Structure 1
Amino acid sequence: MAHQIDLNPASHLTVGTVGVPGQRTFFLQGSRGAQTISLVIEKEQAALLGGSLESFLEELDRSHPPATREAADPVWMDMRLREPVEELFRVGNMGLGYSEDEDLVVLIAYELVEEGDDPNVVSFWATRAQIQSLVKHIADIVKQGRPICGNCGRPIDPEGHFCPQRNGHRH
């Protein structure tokens, strides 16, 4: 039986990694009080989430302007993963929503399951300031990966790189 967890509101919301570039595991993590939920996501999901949240906030600011100027100003937040990082599940899909009454954004993460199975679901409710901090943080985290080869566009490992564009030859 699938479970629904609501962190409403989340006191902490972040994306972080465990491991070295090339072997990192990405986590979407949120907390409410003593409860911390850590979900595994792919690097591509993290990058898409950052872009989607940025677009969502821009649209939200047009359709529902912040009540005060302070609400629109970015604030510093601790974006580190909270230990221990214990995977609840791997995320398959994510969705975004907004509560006009509470002026909170909701990020809904659905478990990756086999077709026909009911996924577990976690809802992270966050302020606009939390989402703004998360967008910037995700961009920074994604950039921290391995350098990209200028010829083939693939990541370069610390041990070396076989570039198909150079037929494997090094210069």
Structure 2
Amino acid sequence: MRRAVRDAPGYSGRAMSRVIHVFRQPERFVAGTVGEPGDRSFYLQAIEDSRTVSVLLEKQQVSVLAERIAALLEEVARRFGDDRPGAAGDGTDLDPLAVPLEEEFRVGTMGLGWDADSQSVVVELLAVSEEEIDESVVLDDTEEGPDALRVFLSPTQAQAFADRAEKVVSAGRPPCPLCAEALDPQGHVCVRLNGYRRRTPVED
């Protein structure tokens, strides 16, 4: 059994059992959504040269990844004495996902690391698998395991990804001020009101 590590735009070869899409100098790595609030599908998309890979995942996974990237950057700054990149602010990439949007796979397991040689944050997203994932598969070119997307990000790129991801996650339905659950356009059964329906405020 062999694997395929796709690390160049001109990759070609016969089909292998495992495909690892590697982006060492991505022009873009962002979180984005398709659909209306309350019915959104979440994607991560990497672009480098002529390659674009998009993977589907859950809202909670996007949120967790953003939080862990922020924590990793703080740890790197603490250990190596480097200043943590500031928030991207107005420079955050807010453009929509590139189309056509073709889902490569649905994300099951996520990995995160720091590559000291390239001074990069490494994000790895592994496809959902029916079999239990061995930890040795994550961030490794093992011959067996689920397909994966591996992206190398500079600290600045990683911070920008986290900033945008937080915006994407929070851009859905507004939370109920009483129970913090998401409000639906037609209203919301609030547990703090003993099951009475709380109407969504009408926006101008």
Unaligned runs of 5+ in 1: none
1:101 match: 117
2:140 match: none
The structure 2 residue matched to 1:78, chosen from 77, 85, 93, is 93
The 1-side partners of 2:154 and 2:31 are apart by 16
> SS in structure 2 opposite 1:91?
strand
1:162 match: 189
- The one-letter code matched in structure 1 to 2:155 is R
- The one-letter code matched in structure 1 to 2:66 is G
Task: Compare relative contact order (CA 8 Å, sep 6+) and give the higher one, 1 or 2.
Answer: 1
The 2-side partners of 1:62 and 1:165 are apart by 42
**1:164 shift after superposition:** 3.6
> SS in structure 1 opposite 2:174?
coil
- Aligned in 2, Cα 1:99/1:154: closer, same or farther, shift over 3 Å? same
The structure 2 residue matched to 1:60, chosen from 76, 95, 105, is 76
The 1-side partners of 2:160 and 2:27 are apart by 13
The 1-side partners of 2:50 and 2:163 are apart by 25
User: In the TM superposition, what whole-angstrom CA distance separates every residue of 1:28-73 from its partner, at most 9, and x where no partner exists?
Assistant: 111111101101111100110110000001111122344xx7x945
What is the correspondence of 1:101-120 to structure 2 with a 5 Å cutoff?
A: 101-115=117-131, 118-120=145-147
1:37 match: 53
- Aligned in 2, Cα 1:103/1:90: closer, same or farther, shift over 3 Å? same
The 1-side partners of 2:80 and 2:196 are apart by 56
- The one-letter code matched in structure 2 to 1:30 is A
The structure 2 residue matched to 1:15, chosen from 27, 31, 45, is 31
Out of 102-111 and 74-83, give the one that drifted further.
74-83
With normalisation by structure 2, the TM-score equals 0.75
With normalisation by structure 1, the TM-score equals 0.88
- The one-letter code matched in structure 1 to 2:103 is E
The 2-side partners of 1:169 and 1:73 are apart by 43
Asked if the contact 1:7–1:124 (Cα under 8 Å) also holds between the matched residues in 2, the reply is yes
Unaligned runs of 5+ in 2: 1-16, 134-144, 199-204
The 2-side partners of 1:144 and 1:163 are apart by 21
RMSD: 2.1
**1:170 shift after superposition:** 4.4
Asked if the contact 1:146–1:157 (Cα under 8 Å) also holds between the matched residues in 2, the reply is yes
Asked if the contact 2:56–2:107 (Cα under 8 Å) also holds between the matched residues in 1, the reply is yes
- The one-letter code matched in structure 1 to 2:162 is V
| Equivalences, count | 168
Asked if the contact 1:2–1:119 (Cα under 8 Å) also holds between the matched residues in 2, the reply is yes
2:161 matched to 1:146?
A: no
1:91 match: 107
**1:105 shift after superposition:** 1.2
The 2-side partners of 1:52 and 1:28 are apart by 16
**1:79 shift after superposition:** 4.2
